[in-house]
Homo-oligomer: A and B are copies of this chain.
Amino acid sequence: MRPSLYEELRLTKLFPIFGWLKTYTRQNFNDDLFAGSITAILLVPQGIAYAILAGLPPQLGLYASILPPVVYALLGTSRTLSVGPVSIAAIMIASALTAPEVSVLGNPVQSALILSAESGVIMLLMALLRMGGLVNFISHPVLAGFTSGASILIIANQLPLTLGLKSPSCGSGIGCYVDYLQTSNTITLSISLAALGLLLFFGKPLTAILKRAGIKLSLVTAISKCGPLLTVLLATSAVNYFNLAVQYNVAVVGQVPSGFPALSLNFINVGKWHTLLPYAAFIALIAYIESVAIAKVTANLRGEKIAANQELIALGAANLATAISGGMPVAGGFSRTMVNFSAGARTQMAMLIAAGILALAVIFFNPWFENIPKSALAAIILVAIFRLVRIKHIYHTWNYDRGDGLAELATLLGVLILGIEEGIILGIILTIASNLRKTSQPHIAVVGRIPETEHYRNIKRHSVETWHHLLLVRIDENITFANINYIEDYLAAELRRQPDIRHVVLIFTSVSDIDTTALETLENFNHALQASGKTLHIAEAKGPVLDKLQKTNFLEQLKPGKMFFRTEDAAKELG
């Protein structure tokens, strides 16, 4: 029996994959096969590198690239988002695992799996409570400051690997740092520099050369995205050929367990869940925000739609999947998604193909991973991450909006000095404070009539008619606890300046809400006006405001003051 239309819609809403599978074509598959292969070529080095960045064994990054994208493909609403390990989440995991209260618990691999599972559960709870909108309260400047700060932390984390430094074991002091720098390994440094050179060449220069040679655009894209894989292949070959790992102490990835991981529930541990809760919450928050932001960019370009709440479900399930399959927390990666999109991916089939390639790589090529030099992977991360440090952006933000610029700078410094979570909280508080400060001094205009029209405009900007006994005041913002004192002081000053005024008309064209504090203050203000023989009126109140006022006896208290539908009516009657 065919499912009813209602059942079908319901199914498509829960599993968006059925939305596109129905109309999937041979051409779509060709496009997805190409894009998926390119993305997989990027995923292998990224997966290993981000696991090392998080301070974890390499397989946690590889496993995170197999099952999670499959789960996301079933549940996610973005057709091009590439879900897997990402650098920003990796540095947050590193920060959590090295926190004293976490490291004392031992077994960092289990802690990482718990972070995966717990952030997944948090996302699913947020979906249940329909809290997708809460993330709106992290503004772009806070996100930008956070991204710059986290990227600087990543660079600081990776630079020692490119120099081949031993892990630092000295205290503080410049002498110690000099000693530390002298432990650098010339062979490792050479590999790093060669890798950096190759990666940079695979960027703009190679693309320009290939384009000038008249090569097909899709092939140019494919070739230019092979830089990381080629870098890894060449560097690993050099290590193998010259036996650099043993003879010259070049740090390499080391053994990766062969085959596919067994599914396990190794992450159930109540005490650790409790300790890791704040870290998991912030990883969930950032993973969700970054994923949805990226998904929206590509969806907008193709006129598709991202459903915020369904994304919480899809990403939450993907993180549970990564925990079960032994992987680190996942999110939508910016660079991978853009590669996938520009390589022409049509649907999540591309990611299913990439996941398949990753699974084959883990099963058949894992002996190859052992001798990948860490310095080559660090070079890949550095090239990818460097452009995320945007100090100049702070200056631009400050130029446009002081409050936002301050929030961005404070978030960046907070992340570096206080810690990742503290930096984000500081930024959120500053953004909200700056927002409140702005609404606390709303634009207020005394208006008059433009002669021979029914238009009322600011007396300071236009030559308008006014009336001796009538004050027409337009308030250009919702009236709340944050600005009612300012408005009251403004009106009181205006009345002291014009003692002959007998009627005050508040024009509510821009007022969509009046909160309790504002209402009570208006009541007192009206009371004081009446005591001095003046009358308060209201004009142009919108539907929702009127509905709210009619629940109170404010309109009664106003009498003989009136509600006027149009300012013109007030001017005719009182002017």
Contact = CB atoms under 8 A, between A and B. Distances in A.
Interface of A: 133, 136-141, 296-297, 300-301, 303, 305, 397, 399-401, 403-405, 431-432, 435-436, 438-440, 442-443, 461, 476-478, 480-486, 492, 496, 509-510, 512-513, 515-517, 519-521, 524-525, 527-528, 531-532, 542-544, 548, 551-552
- Stoichiometry, as copies per complex, reads 2
Contacts of A480: 139, 435
A139 B521 CA distance: 11
Contacts of A140: 481, 516-517, 520-521
Among all A-B residue pairs, the 3 with the closest Cβ atoms: A300-B528, A139-B481, A140-B517
Contact of A517 (B139, B305, B440, B527): B139
B432 A436 contact: yes
Contact of A477 (B478, B509, B516): B478
Contact of A496 (B297, B305, B431): B305
A288 to B, nearest CB: 13
Nearest to A482: B136
Contacts of A137: 436, 481-482
Given A141-B517, A301-B531, A548-B400, A440 B133 contact: yes
Contacts of A436: 137, 432, 435
Given A140-B521, A300-B525, A401-B516, 10 more contacts: A133-B440, A136-B481, A139-B480, A140-B481, A140-B516, A141-B517, A300-B492, A303-B496, A305-B496, A476-B510
A509 B509 contact: yes
Contacts of A477: 478, 512
Contact of A551 (B400, B432, B442): B400
For the complex, would chain A's binding face be called helix, strand, loop or mixed by DSSP majority?
Answer: helix
A399 B438 contact: no
Nearest to A431: B481
Contact of A443 (B443, B484, B512): B512
A456 to B, nearest CB: 13
Contacts of A397: 516
A484 B443 CA distance: 21
Contacts of A141: 516-517
Given A442-B512, A480-B435, A551-B399, A524 B139 contact: no
Nearest to A303: B532
A140 B518 CA distance: 8
A475 to B, nearest CB: 11
Contacts of A404: 515-517
Contacts of A515: 139, 401, 403-404, 435
Given A139-B516, A139-B517, A140-B516, A552 B509 contact: no
20 contacts: A137-B481, A138-B481, A139-B517, A300-B524, A300-B528, A305-B492, A305-B496, A397-B516, A399-B551, A400-B519, A401-B548, A404-B515, A431-B481, A435-B480, A439-B478, A443-B512, A443-B544, A476-B510, A477-B512, A509-B509
Nearest to A397: B516
A292 B328 CA distance: 56
Contacts of A403: 515
Contacts of A136: 440, 481-486
